[in-house]
Structure 1
Amino acid sequence: MTLYALDDQHLDHDLATIRIKNLRLRTYIGIKDDEIQKRQDVLINAVIRYRADNAVAFNHIEQALNYRTITKAVIALVEENRFLLLERMTREVLDLIMSHEAVLTAQVEIDKPHALRFADSVSVTLSASREPRRPR
């Protein structure tokens, strides 16, 4: 049970962070012949922030950002396409997430396991924001 009242001042601060952790997919990624011909594993992590004021206040699913819908779209994008570069795949996933108007900021990291000998994986991380940058 919440021990404080939800007033207008409190609602302005309800920023939710959704984390999609270790989404394991298979896709065509790379430039070598074997990479072009065989699907490889990728591991996707995303951090998404949005204003959850209405979701918190009214407890209705329609007021929340639907992470299931976003995840299904990411799966379709990655598994149904071919990518030469990890940077390109990361940008396309980030753009898809940012296409949802409610998203204020997002960060996407995609790992390509076993891309380098002696390393667990190689990853690329990209971020985007609708929030204006503060002057330094």
Structure 2
Amino acid sequence: MNHNAIIKITNLRLRTYIGFNDEEKQKQQDIIINAEIHYPANNLCLSDNVENALNYKTICKNIIHHVENGKFLLLEKLTSDVLGLCIDHPWVSYAQVTIDKPHALRFADSVSLTLNYSTDEGVSE
């Protein structure tokens, strides 16, 4: 029987340069990242041995470093980069990243983009 471990990073609030108009290029904006990462929960993982689990703290630190030190024209590029960091381990079988850009539209709370990756389908979306 196969079991999945699922790591969820919820509402990681960061600031970065995102957008292509002059104001967006000059001033960092708030973004909110939600990520979900699946990997096999084998017996080694469940043995309480740190080396046998996916290190979510390392993943989160990599995301923070990349986002806060980057400049992005498109939300698609930023989301794709973060998804790449989430799947940068051979154990990962599925990952999904949603990034919200609050206040991007006048009458909406935020605009968001979601990308996912799955080894089961053999393609990323």
Q: Same fold by TM-score, threshold 0.5 exceeded?
A: yes
Taking structure 1 as the reference length, the TM-score comes to 0.86
Task: Identify unmatched segments of 5+ residues in structure 2.
Answer: none
CA distance, structure 2, for counterparts of residue 96 and residue 38 of structure 1: 25
Moved more, 19-28 or 98-107: 98-107
Name which of 64, 84, 106 aligns with 1:117: 106
CA distance, structure 2, for counterparts of residue 88 and residue 68 of structure 1: 23
Is 2:30 the counterpart of 1:55?
A: no
CA distance, structure 1, for counterparts of residue 121 and residue 110 of structure 2: 33
Taking structure 2 as the reference length, the TM-score comes to 0.93
Which aligned segments of 4 or more residues in structure 1 are displaced greater than 4 angstroms?
Answer: none
The percentage of aligned residue pairs carrying the same residue is: 55
Aligned length in residues: 121
Task: Identify unmatched segments of 5+ residues in structure 1.
Answer: 1-11
Name which of 8, 15, 20 aligns with 1:19: 8
CA displacement at 1:132 relative to structure 2: 3.9
CA displacement at 1:130 relative to structure 2: 1.6
Is 2:78 the counterpart of 1:101?
A: no
Larger radius of gyration: 1
Q: How does 1:70-85 map to 2 (within 5 A)?
A: 70-85=59-74
